[in-house]
Every structure is written in structure tokens, then in C-alpha cells.
Structure 1
Amino acid sequence: MRMLKRASDALKDASSLFIANWTPRSAYRNPDIEACVIKATSHNGSRIDYNSAQRIFAWIRVSSHYIHPVLSALSTRMERTHNWTVALKGLMLLHGIFSCKVPAIQRIGQLPFDLSNFKDRNPNLCHHEAFIRAYYTYLNKKSSLMFQQEPKTGSLRKGSKEKPRQPSTMQDLVMLENLQGLLDTLLDIKPLKEKMANVLVLEAMDCIVIEIFDIYSRICNGIAAVLVRLYAVGKDEAVKAFSILQKAAAQAEVLSRYIEFCRDFGVTKASESPKIVHIRKEDIQALKNIIDKVSNQQKIEELIPREEDKAMILQEDIKETDLMNGVT
């Protein structure tokens, strides 16, 4: 039965390649790219075609014009499949595309295909389906966030020597919140069954663990940069920073357990992972003291009349004195 399925899957890939080779070349379709996408997302669950994936990455780095035909070919492949192997390879390929660091990738926004309700033809693979859906959710969220962060054209006049404005403390804090949300979504990607520990899932988990530590490092560096400026910020910024610091402390605990699970599961990169930095209680308490100090200062200021209020009170006193003296 297994041999029959392998033969059937191989026939599907061969048929897709045959059709791709006869595809008319245009600005939106490229037979070579479509063939590479099919090979990189084959039904073979015991092998990953790294060469085809690297060719796709190389095309994208050469020119942003290749992004559209790559995404078009990948979307067609993802929308048609009900095979978790093909779907997972497609998500890993897309993850690699995001890592190409090409500015045009930031303009993708919401992904052009939807695997949020992915179902495999085999009804006994619910854990694999959940893994696919969680991975897709993360990549879609990451793509949308990259689109939001993209520098908008026209914000500076062409040829202007004016330097781009540095983000405010509040903007940095909002970015940290977004990164923490991404990390939460990443930590939801978890194989739920020991039988899932095959070559493909372990490779995907290596990619995910690398991504986790990249984002967690950015969060830690961002917090450190914000903490330096906290004594010069207002109450709103301090309150938001306090919330982020508490969240970071909780995430560090969750992350530690996640990495320990990955080590036990056999994920190579989890064994090579750096030490997880935990937020010190002293930092959280120091930030709380700043918030309390700012709040008390505001309460004192509220009790002190403003200059315009003083003027109004003085006018009222003069009117009252005139009335008492019979002045009209």
C-alpha cells in the first residue's frame, strides 16, 4: 500500500513538471521557476530538494521581478494540495524566501494563499494538519507585519538631504509588542506526536528554532535600548514598557520549556541554542517605581492651579469684592 502511494505521488509530481515545462513564458509565469517550485515541494517525505530551493532564492536576490512568478507558482501549488508533505515544504520554502532580505519581500503583505483550514486527504493526520496551520499562521502574521513596517515611499522628497526621523520611544515599544506577538505565534508551532519526528518535520523545527532566537534576541536588545531612556519618558511610555517587561519575563519561562521539549524531540538547533536571557525582578521593580513616581508627580501638579486658572480666580475675587462694596 505504501509503495503504491509513493508511486502515485511521484506520478503527480511528474505530471505537474510536464505541464510546467509547456507553460508559455510571460511576465507572470516562468517555466523554470515553476519547475523548481514543484521540485522543492515534492511529495517525497524523506527528502528535501535543497538545490531547487537555493535556485529560487538566487533568482529573488538577483531581481525583485522574480518574486511575482515565484509566489504565483507557490500559491498554485499550495491551493491545490491536500498533502501535508507538499504543504510543509511550501511553507519552508516561503520561510526561506523571507530570509532573502530583499526589500520587495516587505511589500507582499497578506499571503496569496490560505492554509488556515488545511486538511490532508488522510483523516488520521490531524496532528500534522495542526502543525501546518500553526506554521502558516505565523508566516502570514510575519508577512503582514513586514508590510506594515515597510518605509513608505514619498515620506521624503527625492534628493532631500533630510535624515529619516528616528522612531519615538512609543513607536519602539509598539514594535516590541508586535515582536512579542510574533514570538507567541511561533511558540504555537509544535509537533504534538512522537511519530512526527521525521526528516521533514525536524528540518522545519530547525528553521523555527532559529527564527525564535532571532526574534527573542531582537526583543531583548529592544528592551535594553528602551530601558536606557526610561527616566526621560512619560507615564504612558513607562506603563507600556512595564507591560512589555512583564510579558518578556513570562515568555522567557515559556521559551525555556519549549526549547527543552525541542531537545527531547530531537531538533538539532535546539541543542545548539544560546542561553535564554531572563528578565530580572529588579528591572521590573525599578520600572514600577518610575511609574509610581510619575503618577505621584502628576497628582501634585493637578493640585497646583494653572496660570489661567489663577487669573480666573482673581477676577472672581475682584467681582465679589466690588459687589460687597456696592460697585456696579
Structure 2
Amino acid sequence: MPGGGTQNSLRKALGAIKDTTTVSLAKVSSDYKELDIAIVKATNHVERPAKEKYIRAIFAAISATRPRADVAYCIHALARRLSRTHNWAVALKTLIVIHRALREVDPTLQEDLINYGRSRSHILNMAHFRDE
């Protein structure tokens, strides 16, 4: 398709701008700056696996030793990232982070995810996802 390469380059550039803007806003306005930055960097628009250091930062925030409010915030931030994206790479990376967290972090995370789903829309509901 003519112009497909240009369109793809534009999408990648816009994704990078969105990620940079989100990180900049987190640095200024978030109570959970480090966590918000780690979530954006672990689930960025780049079509490469996430860096392990950002995934580990997320896992540290949702460990059993953390206050449940911190865990709830992390779950909410991941759910928000998943629900707002229209990019397959961001959605896939977010799902991978959630999957790995369920496998590698404390089992109480499963309960927290279930409770989150009871009080709000289900975190893994991808029915309205569209890659644009």
C-alpha cells in the first residue's frame, strides 16, 4: 500500500510523543511518580520487549509488603493504561505485565484484581479495543 511506511512512521512518532508527555506529567503531578513512570516505560509504544527494570519496579509496588492502597493504585493505573490505549504494543505489554505479576508476585494480588473487577469494570475486558 502506498504511503504505508509514512503512516507507520507517523504512528510510531505519535506514540513516542504520548509516552514522553505521560512521563513528564507523572513527574510533575503524581503522588506515585516512580510507579507511574515505570508503568509507562514498561508499556510504551516501542515494538520491543519491556525493560526488566521497569517491570521489577512495578512488581515491587504490588508486593505483599506494600500497603494495599499502593497495590490498588497500581492495579488502577494498569487498568487505565489498558483501557485508554489504541495501540497493540501498549495493550500487549500491559497484559504481559499483569500476567507476569499474577505468576511472580504474591498470591494476594489475585484477590486484589478480583476485588478491583467487582468495584469497577473488569481489568481484562478488551471488548472495545481497536488498534488504530
TM-score normalised by structure 1 residue count: 0.33
Q: Give the structure 1 partner of residue 57 of structure 2.
A: 55
Calculate percent identity across the aligned residue pairs: 27
When Rg is computed on C-alpha atoms for both structures, the one with the higher figure is 1
Matched residue type, 1:45: E
| CA drift at 1:45 | 0.6
Pick aligned residue for 2:94 from 90, 93, 97: 90
CA contact (8 A) 1:34 1:73 kept: yes
Q: Give the structure 1 partner of residue 83 of structure 2.
A: 79
Superposition map of 1:243-254 within 5 A: none
- Give the gaps of 5 or more residues in structure 2: 1-5
CA contact (8 A) 1:57 1:96 kept: no
TM-align CA RMSD: 1.8
Kindly indicate whether residue 51 of structure 2 is the aligned counterpart of residue 40 of structure 1. no
| CA drift at 1:31 | 1.7
Judged with a 3 Å threshold, the aligned counterparts in structure 2 of structure 1 residues 3 and 106 are, in CA distance, closer, same or farther, namely: closer
Superposition map of 1:89-168 within 5 A: 89-107=93-111, 108-109=113-114, 110=117, 111-112=122-123, 114-121=125-132
Paired with 1:113 and 1:106, the residues of 2 have a C-alpha distance of 13
Paired with 2:10 and 2:49, the residues of 1 have a C-alpha distance of 18
Paired with 2:53 and 2:73, the residues of 1 have a C-alpha distance of 18
| Cα deviation digits, residues 255-287 of structure 1 (max 9, x gap) | xxxxxxxxxxxxxxxxxxxxxxxxxxxxxxxxx
Paired with 2:106 and 2:18, the residues of 1 have a C-alpha distance of 32
Q: Secondary structure in 1 aligned to 2:93?
A: helix
- Give the gaps of 5 or more residues in structure 1: 122-328
Q: Secondary structure in 2 aligned to 1:99?
A: helix
Highest RCO, 1 vs 2 (Cα 8 Å, sep ≥ 6): 2
Paired with 1:64 and 1:102, the residues of 2 have a C-alpha distance of 13
| CA drift at 1:15 | 0.7
Kindly indicate whether residue 10 of structure 2 is the aligned counterpart of residue 10 of structure 1. no
